[in-house]
Amino acid sequence: MTLRVAAAQDVSVPGDVATNVATAVQHVGEAAERGARVVVLPELFLTGYDPHVWTHDEALSLDDERLDPLRDAARTHDLVVVTSAAVRRALDETTLSSIVVGPEGELTAPYDKQHLAGPEVGFFTAGDHGATIVVDGWDLGLGICYDGCFPEHAASAAAAGATAYLCPAAYYVGSEHRRDVYYAARALDNGIYVVLSGLTGRCGDEEFNGGSAVYDPEGRPVGDPGRLGIEPGLVVADLDPAEIDRVRVLNPVGADRHASLGPRHRLLLG
């Protein structure tokens, strides 16, 4: 059974949760009109990718009433929303997390970013586990931005049965080449689909480059309209289990991966 997904990108307003939720709801509605069952939005979209607003008090709790319109949209359209926010976990702990809203409006934060980068390191607590959500029989592994730069992160998800890898992200202008290589490679490495949702426009002091895409198991952008540039919008694509099976026969890298490559011998020559 195919699964239709949408990768959305837009501008996030630092610290303005209500506005960002309203933007997310608009994308959810458009994705639903195009038949999507899962919608992915960018990294820290709900709270903003801006260190100036990263305070423990500004981080979201999962019962925050400002998230109710997103719950209502998921329930109304019978779909799953995957986005990201700063989440208040304890009295002195904040995580950079995936926010997942189910089709009955249930809201969870099942995954905390494990590979923190740049200014995130001084504020957020890194996650200590991987996570997968299951939608209509599809195992969807979760990552956030820098996680997807590490081959073993997606490989761990695939080894646990994931056939797609969902990555909210926020890449600065100037990093387009690396962004495009990383996520295409994670798809090709494992014979899985990768759904990348990129923040775009200015957020705080930085400009972000979008680039949202859905990559097929051979690492090619698929769907309509293909990989986005910097404009807000949606990429919608169908994930096909038959294509995963075909590619894994053609290119069985995941199955042929060794658990260990053994010790390394060092030979000195001159």
Rg (CA), the chain: 18
pLDDT given at position 90: 82
Q: pLDDT, tens digit, for every residue of 229-246?
A: 999 999 999 999 999 999
Q: pLDDT, tens digit, for every residue of 122-180?
A: 999 999 999 999 999 999 999 999 999 999 999 999 999 999 999 999 999 999 999 99
Long-range pairs for 237-241: beta carbons < 8 A, 24 or more residues apart: 237/4, 237/5, 237/7, 237/193, 238/2, 238/3, 238/4, 238/5, 239/2, 239/3, 239/4, 239/5, 239/138, 239/163, 239/164, 239/193, 239/214, 240/2, 241/1, 241/2, 241/163
pLDDT given at position 224: 95
Show Cβ contacts of residue 16 under 8 Å, excluding neighbours closer than 6 positions: 48
Q: What structural domains does the chain harbor?
A: 3-256 (3.60.110.10)
In order along the chain (270 residues), what is the average pLDDT of each group of 10 residues? 98 98 98 98 98 94 97 98 96 94 98 98 96 98 98 97 98 98 98 98 98 98 96 98 97 92 94
pLDDT given at position 230: 97
pLDDT given at position 92: 84
